[in-house]
Every structure is written in structure tokens, then in C-alpha cells.
Structure 1
Amino acid sequence: MQVSDQEQSSRELDLEEITRKISFLDKWREIFSYHGLGTNNKTAQNHDGNHASADETEDAAGIPQPRGQGHLPSSSLCSIPKPSIISSKSGGFPISLAMATKLRQSLFGNTIHVFSYDWKKAHFRFHEPFSDLAFTLEVGKGGARSIQMAVQGFIIKDLLFTRKGKDCNFHSLCTISKREQAQALAAALAGILWALGEAEKATVCLVTEDTYVTSNPDYWGDDFTERLQLFELLEKEATEKFIYDHLQCFQEEGSHGVILFLYSMICSRTFERLQKDLDASTTHLLQPSAGGFRCRQAVLNMILTGRASPNVFNGCQKGKSQEIIHGVLTRSDVGYLRWGKDTSEGDRLSQVGSRLKTPKLPIWLCNINGNSSVLFSTNRQLLSDWKVERRFDLYFYSGQPPQNTPVHLTVDTHSHHWERNQHEDGHVAGRWFSPVEMVIRTKWREATINWNGTNSFFSRESQYVQ
């Protein structure tokens, strides 16, 4: 019997919810045990009235798993391979309880929440080399997806505009080798961390064999954060080389690679700078969503601009309570476009400012109806020469499974005024636009988009515009 996508998605959400409840139940057991309030019963009841075994859970192979990991007993569906670890004698300095607590508070606003299954399994993995998608990352579901797609923008930046002796064309992106993939990923991650450290220092977090922090009633461990070592690099080139040498810690299945990178981002930015970047509208970086957590705008702006600005407008503005709220201060190499249900056209605070819409390079992270994707041009002069901007090509990558090659679009910003309010059949009315077209039109308002024969779900998912 076939299972629909909706039913499959519902089952995955159910698994995440069960996982979350088991994790919370185990944490309460630790607190009761700490205070000598253990029970002789084999089952215990949580605050939702659900029961679970008090025994240690096991994975699909029958191997005991530590409590609080979010694993379902005997379920291969939620089995996550152990993360890639390095020797505890590698030269970093161990994480402290105070730092682990600050990390958790910076992300969740408390020390109780832990990452969901989708976050734990997320890592940076490329499609096959020498293929139409050789330059792209495989991205999954959940909140980690937006980080993967933001990093994707910087991978494209490196491959198109940073590498020396390489042609800046689309064909060159599809002919990269596995080694070139690794070099581009290391360069992208290092560049982001170096910018967050204000070109002075970058910090890389890796998992070691030893545990440096133990759980207590005020800090609920996840058997991952407590094993971190932090490595400080004082040069950008040294940061890139260090990441390249330890790339398996971010790339391998089960590496928790996206979480490691997020931790490295926060530590590179430092807690002090992070608090100055944020404001009353955003006090922590992740937001609960559908049984997991999604990134707030501040996380994406950290990657794009090097600052955890919570908003997308230019500069600083006054909020509803007259408090100062922070937007984007400078143009960045990779920009940002947004269209759809996450925005309110009448809300000036949600409108993307010109600094994000017009980056230094023609690459944009896109938020379309809450889903992350990347839009880019291979022409470096696109945003600096008005003649180039009259008619040009863009490439679109969504990361969704139906897409097996980037979509090639031709954008014409010189449309005729008499064609704006009528269909091809001559009837004066509105028109159906793809969400991809709509997000492009937030940058080039009167543009018409030619899909160059593309017959995909991108052009069929349309929106009626008056």
C-alpha cells in the first residue's frame, strides 16, 4: 500500500514528538535521581500522562543508548550513527559547564531543550561529483535546512568568484571533483567563521572521546555538547586548513555537522558580541516549530553578514514600544530575498532592505513560503552594470528531491507597460506567477521570467497576483 507524502510527513512529526517526550521524561528521571527521589517501579509518568520504561533504551542493534538522546527504542528510523570524534589530546580546550550552559541558552533560551532528530542527522554532504548537481549540498527537512542552504550560497561564491584560474561559468560548477567539493566547503565554512570573528579569530568546535561536563538539575546534557573541544585559529588560511583537515567531522553521516557548525558560529562571534547584535525582539536563536526548532532570522544574518542582526531592514529602527531594533548594517557577499507567508507586505519591519537585496556578488539565499533555496548568476557584473541588468540569466536550486538539475531562468527587466495587466489571450485581469518568479520580482519589480522550457513543479506552484 502506498503512503502519501502528507501521511509520511505526519508520521515523521509523530516520531519527533514521541522522541521529544522520551527525552523530557529521561531528564526528569535524572533530576529525581539527583535529589534521591527515585522510584522502584519500572515505569514512570511524565507531566503529559505518558508512560515509558525506566530502563536504559537500546538502538536497533540492541546496544544500550544513553538517556536523553531522543532515540526511540529498537527503531532504525531514529538511529543516528555516532558522531565523528577526534582525540582528546588534539590541542583544543575543553568546554566548561558555564560555556555549555551559555550555548544552550543562546540557542533555546533555556538549558532544558535539546536538538531534534532532524537536527542531529543534518550534515554537509554534496551530490555526486562531475554531475549536474556536483556543486550542491544534499539538504534534508527541518530547521537545519536553512543553514545548509545559506552555506550553499558561500560554496557557490567560492567556486564561481574566488577560485583562481577557473572559468566563472555554469559548466565549471558541474565538473568539480570530490576534492574540489571538499575545498569549497572548507573555504565556505572558514570564511563565515572568520567574518563572525571580525577577521581576528575563528573558533571551531569538534567532538572528542572524553566528556567534560556532567548533567545536573540546572543543565540537561545531550552526550554531545559535553564532549566538545574548542580550537581557536588566528588566521583565515589556518582556519580553512584546520577545517579541511577535519572535514569528516562536518561531512560524515551522524557527524552532527550542522550543529557543530552552529556551535562554531556562536563561539566565533562570542557571547558578548552576540548579545550586542540581538535586541528585545530576539533573545535567542532558535524557535520551536512542528516538534523541532527552526532558525530565527538572526542565524541566517550571522552567516550572510557576520552579525546576528534579528531583522532584514537596513540599519536600526524603533519598534512598537519605541525600543531600538537592529537590522542589517552593511552589504554582504551573499544576499537575501524573501516572499510568501513569512512576510507581511504592510509591515515595514519585515521588508528586506536594499543591503540584502543587492549583495556584492549575484548570489541570494531565498525564503519562499518558509522554504530555503538559492538563486545565483554566473556574471559577476550583474549588480554593478545597469546594462547587464536589463536581460540576464539566473540559476535556481531548491534542494528538493524532484530537482535533478538547477533551473535555468532568463530575466527581462525591460518589460513593456502595455503587457503588465493582460493575459496572453488579451483579457485584462491578474496573472498567475510562480513563487520563484515572485521572489525575483521583489528585487526586479517589473521583470518577466522565461523558464527556458522547464517543466517542473516550480512553475506549477503558482500564485494569483492582481
Structure 2
Amino acid sequence: MEKKEEKKPAVKTRSFQKMVKKVVHTQATIGVVVDRRKHVLYPSNSKTCLQEIRVEGGTPITAEIAKKLRTLVFGSSSMVGSVETEWTNQSFGFQPYDTAMGYGLRVTKNATKGLVMCMQGFVLKHLLFAKTKGKSSVEPKALLKASMRAQEDSLVDAIADIIWQVGDKTSATLCLTQDVAYARDDESYQCDGCTEKFMSNNRSGLLLFVYSLIMTRTFKRVMEDAADVKESLIQPNGHIHPILASLILTGRATPYLHNGIIYEGNEETMSKPKTGVLKRAEVGHLVCQRSENKFPVAVGSRLKTPTLPIWVVRSDDSYGVLFNPNRELLRDYHAENRFDLYYYSSSSNQNKSTIVTIDTRNASNNDDYSTPVLENIIHTKWNDAEVTWNGCSPYM
């Protein structure tokens, strides 16, 4: 059975976002720990960098917290291996603004793609819908044409949205960088150049964004959200664990994607709650597992039908984003008879917009293992719909 969650009053995030905008740009690096009363990000050098602001009133990271962060994220604090190397010195960056892909974030390391695509969903939210004020007649190409300023603003707004949601819209902790190393090498901790200090020539925004999520949610609540999941947030193969995607998209690190709370048990055993998605998401999530050793993922309507027509899609460890520039798409049943979806995955072969056409009036005969992966994912939302790739070779 499903338990209805209590509604909490919404808290506006604009003041928090404005504070972030003062010091963040598209190449921002964040690190160490900042007190929740000082909502600040500290940028590294860039042509578009705003005035550098020194951190005041922040709380320096301790060796104990550094070890806990590394253990939760990578599974161990003692050694720096290939997985950590994949994630250090990686930052958020866009495709060239004057190209067709100017709205898209770049993926420089394949292992970081899942995190970047989750962020991409929120970037698109602000690029497509923040200034349209409910209008659905704006030309899609105009919405997707991003200036350098639009790129910067959308990324900052996305960071603010995600962290504020993770903090239940009541508090936030942002991680930023300092010149001093607050944790030293010993037998239980090996420095990685990111967790314990700032290296001025490096940018580690992706990893330190993850640290911000953890510090905002707190270690205790992340572990409570994750329930029986004992794995690290970044898996041994370097890709993000699905619970990290859930943390970004829903504000909770839950392994369950169904609606609400479901209790499992019988008369002889105590009912055990499985807490899924507690409210309708702004950015949706569609999942289709292809590996034989993985069970199907039950995704509820709060992720399948988000408030905005944007979906982060996943098959095993492969991620991408589907979206439609018309925010009215999910509000009109007839609009879903036949419509287009843009697909973005930051693929090196993607140099122009990929647009797939979905026709729910015509059923397609598909086999899960011969049908392209993205089509299988689409069918989890629009069952048996006809998918046309419009001259583009299918890819994920």
C-alpha cells in the first residue's frame, strides 16, 4: 500500500540563487565546506569569472569529514585509484555557445556522464522555461540558442535548484576551495588534491558538487535514504550509482523510484517501508535495464510524468536527456498523440540536434533486444509508440 506524504510549504529559492550568481560562472570550482549561513561558491580563474571573493566564516574541512566523504563517495579513504583520478579535476563546461549544441554540457570523461546529464536536465529547465512565462509559442531554436551569459545563468540556477531541493528548501551547504590542506596523508587517508585542499591550476567542480550534496543532505540522511544500499555513490567502474541520480533529481538518495511509500511483509514478519518518490518531480527519469543480471526498475508516475517535459534517461550506466521545448506537452492529452523529443547525450558524434518523433496512435512491434535502447526507454513512458529517428542513426 502507499502512504500519502504530508505537504510542506514551498520555499522560494531566488535569494539563494542570487547569492550564488554573484560568485559562480561556467567554470566554477567548489571545495572544502562552507557554513550554511554563508551560501557562497568560490570561482577559479576564467575569462568570464566575476570578482574573486574570499571565503569568510566558512568551516574548514576536518580529517574525519574528509575520510567520511571519500568513503561514502568512493568506498575507501585510504588509497587514490583510477576511479578517483577519473573524477578529480573535472568541471562543468558547455559546448561552444555559438553552435547548435550550445545548450549542452560537455562530458570529458565517460564515467562522469551520468552526473553531467542529471545536471543537464536542470540546465534545460532554466534555458527553456525560466523566461517563457508559460508561453508555448516560442520558437524552439530561439530557446536553445544559448549565449555565454545564458549558459552561465542556467548552470548557476541549476546548481542552486538541486542543492536547495536536497536541503528540503530550508538550508544548504556549499563546498569551496582554500589554499590550505586540512587533511594530511596517513595510513588511513591519501590526499587526492581535491578533498583536502585546493590546487589552483585544477578544477574539480563535479566531485565537489557531489560533496555539497552530501554535506547539505548530511551523512545520516543519505544513509537513511539509501536504505539497504551499501555501495558507494560512485561505483567501482567509475560511474555514478543510481541513488546519486535520485539524490540530484528528487532530493533524496533513494534506490526506489515508485510513488510514495510501499510496505513489504506478511503476518509473520514486520512490514518494511520502501520509500520512493514523495512528490512529482520537475525533471523526470525514465529507466530501462538491459543487463540480464539486473531486475526491472519500477518507475512511478511522479518521475514518468514530471511537471516539465524533460527526462533524464538511463539504461544500465548509460545516460542521456530527452526534452520538448513546449511546456504544455504533458498538460494536454491530445498533444501526446504525435510530438517530437530532442535527445542529448554529449556524444562525440553529435554535432546537430537529434530529434525523434513519437506517435502514440501507431503501435510498433518491438523486441526488447533488437529495438534500439533509447526506444525501449521511450516505451516505458509511451507504451508501444512508434518512434521515428528522422534520418539519424539510433544511439544511446
Structure 2 length-normalised TM: 0.77
Q: Does 1:281 align with 2:246?
A: no
User: Which residue does the alignment assign to 1:298?
Assistant: 243
Cα shift readout 1:387-434 (whole Å, capped 9, x = no counterpart): 111111110112110111221122111116xxx559xxxxxx999532
The residue type paired with residue 228 of structure 2 is A
2: CA distance between counterparts of 1:393 and 1:201?
A: 38
1: CA distance between counterparts of 2:151 and 2:122?
A: 12
Q: Does 1:338 align with 2:283?
A: no
User: Which residue does the alignment assign to 1:385?
Assistant: 332
In the TM superposition, residue 304 of structure 1 has moved relative to its aligned partner by 0.3
Q: Does 1:93 align with 2:31?
A: no
User: Which residue does the alignment assign to 2:78?
Assistant: 112
User: Which residue does the alignment assign to 1:456?
Assistant: 393
Q: Does 1:367 align with 2:314?
A: yes
- CA contact under 8 A between 1:278 and 1:326: conserved in structure 2? no
User: Which residue does the alignment assign to 2:12?
Assistant: none
CA RMSD for the aligned pairs?
Answer: 3.0
In the TM superposition, residue 380 of structure 1 has moved relative to its aligned partner by 1.0
For residue 136 of structure 1, the aligned residue among 98, 101, 104 is 104
The residue type paired with residue 105 of structure 2 is L
- CA contact under 8 A between 2:128 and 2:144: conserved in structure 1? no
Q: Tell which deviates more after alignment, 86-95 or 379-388.
A: 86-95
Cα shift readout 1:344-381 (whole Å, capped 9, x = no counterpart): 78x46x22222211111110011135311000011112
Bigger share in helix: 1
For residue 181 of structure 1, the aligned residue among 151, 156, 175 is 151
Aligned pair in 2 of structure 1 residues 136, 147: CA closer, same or farther (>3 Å)?
A: same
Aligned pair in 2 of structure 1 residues 253, 376: CA closer, same or farther (>3 Å)?
A: farther
Asked which structure has the greater RCO (Cα within 8 Å, sep 6+), the reply is 2
1: CA distance between counterparts of 2:55 and 2:343?
A: 44
1: CA distance between counterparts of 2:247 and 2:257?
A: 12
Structure 1 length-normalised TM: 0.66
User: Which residue does the alignment assign to 2:255?
Assistant: 310
Q: Where does the alignment leave 5 or more consecutive residues of structure 2 unmatched?
A: 1-42, 46-51
The residue type paired with residue 95 of structure 1 is I
User: Which residue does the alignment assign to 1:236?
Assistant: none
In the TM superposition, residue 117 of structure 1 has moved relative to its aligned partner by 2.6
The residue type paired with residue 442 of structure 1 is T
2: CA distance between counterparts of 1:342 and 1:187?
A: 35
* Aligned-partner SS, 2:236: strand
The residue type paired with residue 267 of structure 1 is M
Q: Does 1:212 align with 2:182?
A: yes
The residue type paired with residue 303 of structure 1 is I
User: Which residue does the alignment assign to 1:447?
Assistant: 385
For residue 150 of structure 1, the aligned residue among 101, 108, 118 is 118
Cα shift readout 1:164-204 (whole Å, capped 9, x = no counterpart): 57975421234221111001100001110011111111111
- CA contact under 8 A between 1:130 and 1:174: conserved in structure 2? no
- CA contact under 8 A between 2:78 and 2:189: conserved in structure 1? yes
- CA contact under 8 A between 2:365 and 2:384: conserved in structure 1? no
Q: Does 1:259 align with 2:225?
A: no
In the TM superposition, residue 318 of structure 1 has moved relative to its aligned partner by 5.8
User: Which residue does the alignment assign to 2:372?
Assistant: 434
What is the aligned length?
340
1: CA distance between counterparts of 2:358 and 2:139?
A: 17
* Aligned-partner SS, 1:155: helix
Aligned pair in 2 of structure 1 residues 388, 457: CA closer, same or farther (>3 Å)?
A: closer
* Aligned-partner SS, 1:295: coil
Which has more radius of gyration?
Answer: 1
In the TM superposition, residue 284 of structure 1 has moved relative to its aligned partner by 3.5
* Aligned-partner SS, 2:329: helix
User: Which residue does the alignment assign to 2:8?
Assistant: none
User: Which residue does the alignment assign to 2:192?
Assistant: 222
User: Which residue does the alignment assign to 1:269?
Assistant: 217
User: Which residue does the alignment assign to 1:412?
Assistant: 359
For residue 394 of structure 1, the aligned residue among 336, 341, 347 is 341
Bigger share in strand: 1
In the TM superposition, residue 285 of structure 1 has moved relative to its aligned partner by 1.7
- CA contact under 8 A between 1:299 and 1:308: conserved in structure 2? yes
Percent identity among equivalent residues?
35
Q: Does 1:102 align with 2:68?
A: yes
* Aligned-partner SS, 2:312: strand
Cα shift readout 1:100-145 (whole Å, capped 9, x = no counterpart): 1221222133322445332124221111113210100111333321
Aligned pair in 2 of structure 1 residues 255, 143: CA closer, same or farther (>3 Å)?
A: same
Aligned pair in 2 of structure 1 residues 93, 164: CA closer, same or farther (>3 Å)?
A: farther
* Aligned-partner SS, 1:189: helix
* Aligned-partner SS, 1:201: coil
1: CA distance between counterparts of 2:56 and 2:194?
A: 17
The residue type paired with residue 387 of structure 1 is H
In the TM superposition, residue 150 of structure 1 has moved relative to its aligned partner by 0.5
1: CA distance between counterparts of 2:232 and 2:368?
A: 41
Aligned pair in 2 of structure 1 residues 104, 319: CA closer, same or farther (>3 Å)?
A: farther
Aligned pair in 2 of structure 1 residues 209, 171: CA closer, same or farther (>3 Å)?
A: same
- CA contact under 8 A between 1:129 and 1:174: conserved in structure 2? no
User: Which residue does the alignment assign to 1:24?
Assistant: none
In the TM superposition, residue 261 of structure 1 has moved relative to its aligned partner by 0.7
2: CA distance between counterparts of 1:189 and 1:376?
A: 19
Aligned pair in 2 of structure 1 residues 253, 96: CA closer, same or farther (>3 Å)?
A: closer
In the TM superposition, residue 161 of structure 1 has moved relative to its aligned partner by 1.2
